[in-house]
Structure formats: structure tokens, C-alpha cells
A and B are shown apart, each in its own frame.
Chain A
């Protein structure tokens, strides 16, 4: 049973465009939704996270949009830069535990 679905698996955008990555989940008890990024040759690291008390979280050019009713959340990378090229993982968990379940990942390539 897939607890979190992530799409697309790969995405290519031009420099300056907005990249949009999507995730959906089934379990309504999930209440913490982080995004991790992983640059080639490196390990995953936390990028940004949201709790369902709000439907939007911004950090610079990175924004999470959250739709509790539809159980979906997305990561928008505005004004994409070649340095943003990486694999992005969404994840889900609930406050009762500390285990993260990760999506399959989206490989983003930003062309100059």
C-alpha cells in the first residue's frame, strides 16, 4: 500500500520557469508534510515543511501548497535556477510518531 504518491518522476524546466511537484496521500491522520531535496552525490536534506493548520508555506522561491480536503500537497519552485537541479522527495508523518514515509522522488532538471 502506497502511503504517498509523488509525480512526476522527472521534470525539466527552463531557467526562470516555475517547477511544480505533486504529492497525494490517503491517511487523514498525517499532519506533517516535509519536502527533502537531494543533490547529485549528496544525501537528502530538509528543504521546507508544512502543517495542515495553514494551506501555504513559503521560504524564498520555494512554496508548499496544501489541500487538506483533497489530501494533496505540492512544491512550487519559482524562478527556477540551474542550481535547483536535484531530486525532490515529499514525505508524510503524524505527530504521534517520528517515522517519515517518502514519495518515490521527482528528478528536476533546470536548463539554463
Chain B
């Protein structure tokens, strides 16, 4: 079975640009998560979907970050406008619905904002 896929693997953007990151969850998984990973802050939850419904939008990340789940097999994370502090690895993960299901992570997108 295919795992979580993410594209692109690397992205370089100028400050103020709009970028869109993409994620395809594991087939059959109902929960999808977007995380930002940095050395200082660790893994921070940006958004959380259950059966395509947005369950959490990450509070502090609301203003410039927007995640969408257009169908059960595809999600996007839009950052608009980008800022240098957004430079990080963005991870997508999915799991079966259930309080204690294992999360499977994608390979991540490394974003550099100049």
C-alpha cells in the first residue's frame, strides 16, 4: 500500500509569495493532519481534518495558513503571503479514525522563504 505522499519535496519562495503544498493520505484513512517542524518549536499542529471536516485550524496559524481537504484523498496547505519565518519542514500525516490510531507521516516538504 502507498504511504502518505507529499509534493513538492522542496520549495523555495520569495517573501510575499503564495505557495501551495499538497498531500495524499493513506487510502482508507479518515484523519489528516498538517504539522510544521522546526528545531526550536518541534512539531506544531497546523490543521486537523476528520472525514474532510476541519476539526482544528491551529489557532496561531490561522491568518496566513489555510488547509483544505477537497476530497478524501487530497489535501492542500496554502501559505499566503509567505514570510522568512515560515521556513520549515511541513509534514502531512494520516490515520484511521479512532482516538489512538497510529499516525503515518509523509516525507515532508522543506520550505525556504528568502
Interface, chain A (partner B; CB < 8 A): 32, 34, 36, 42-46, 49, 51, 89, 93-105
**B interface residue count range (under 10 / 10 to 19 / 20 to 34 / 35 or more):** 20 to 34
Chain A interface SS verdict (over half): loop
* Minimum C-beta distance from B93 to chain A (A): 8
- Pair A95/B99 contact, Cβ less than 8 Å: yes
- Pair A94/B102 contact, Cβ less than 8 Å: no
A44: chain B residues at CB < 8 Å are: 43, 91, 103, 105
- Pair B103/A96 contact, Cβ less than 8 Å: no
Task: Enumerate 14 A-B pairs (CB-CB under 8 Å) in ascending A order.
Answer: A32-B99, A42-B107, A43-B91, A89-B42, A93-B99, A93-B100, A94-B99, A95-B100, A96-B99, A98-B31, A98-B98, A98-B100, A99-B33, A102-B42
A104: chain B residues at CB < 8 Å are: 41-42
Binary contact track B1-37/A, C-beta < 8 Å → 1, others 0: 0000000000000000000000000000001010000
